């Protein structure tokens, strides 16, 4: 089915080392430097900067895909959404103990950007940091 059929979007999440997720979806939401953004079929073309946060995808098979992203870019054009980020983690790839250690290390190093990235992973799995 083409992205323009039945109200769908073609979504691609690309990290520095791999394509993390690619498929058809009915909607996607992400946090940009201008605030939270939702994209449905027919959205106007857009290029925006992402901040560390949770991206939520409602796939056409009814699944809700949750991923943590670091800083990056979100592009929307012709019902195609691309998210490019140095680091993207699927909810199933996130280990709580590892994230707790990342947050502790980032706080000890006084690295607020690293803290934000690690906290986004916690939010992805539904935990507060």
pLDDT digits (tens, 9 = 90+) for 72-107: 999 999 999 999 999 999 999 988 888 888 889 889
pLDDT greater at residue 122 or residue 34: 34
103-112 burial, b for 16+ CB within 10 Å, e for fewer? beebeeeeee
- For residue 128, pLDDT beyond 60: no
Express each pLDDT in 48-79 by its tens digit: 999 999 999 999 999 999 999 999 999 999 99
Helix axes 96-108, 112-124, angle to 10 degrees: 160
- Residue entry with tokens 């996130």: 94
Check if the beta carbon of residue 81 is closer than 8 Å to that of residue 12.
Answer: yes
pTM: 0.82
pLDDT greater at residue 21 or residue 94: 21
pLDDT given for residue 55 in this prediction: 96
């Amino acid at each position: 089915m083409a992205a323009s059929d039945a109200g769908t979007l073609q979504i691609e999440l690309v990290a520095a080392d791999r394509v993390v997720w690619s498929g058809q979806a009915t909607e996607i939401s992400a946090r940009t430097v201008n605030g939270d953004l939702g994209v449905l079929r027919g959205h106007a073309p857009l290029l925006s900067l992402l901040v560390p946060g949770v991206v939520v995808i409602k796939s056409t098979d009814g699944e809700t895909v949750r991923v943590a992203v670091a800083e990056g870019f979100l592009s929307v054009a012709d019902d195609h959404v691309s998210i490019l980020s140095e680091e993207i983690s699927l909810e199933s790839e996130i280990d709580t103990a590892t994230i707790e250690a990342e947050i502790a290390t980032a706080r000890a190093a006084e690295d607020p950007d690293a803290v934000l990235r690690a906290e986004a992973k916690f939010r992805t799995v539904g935990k507060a940091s």
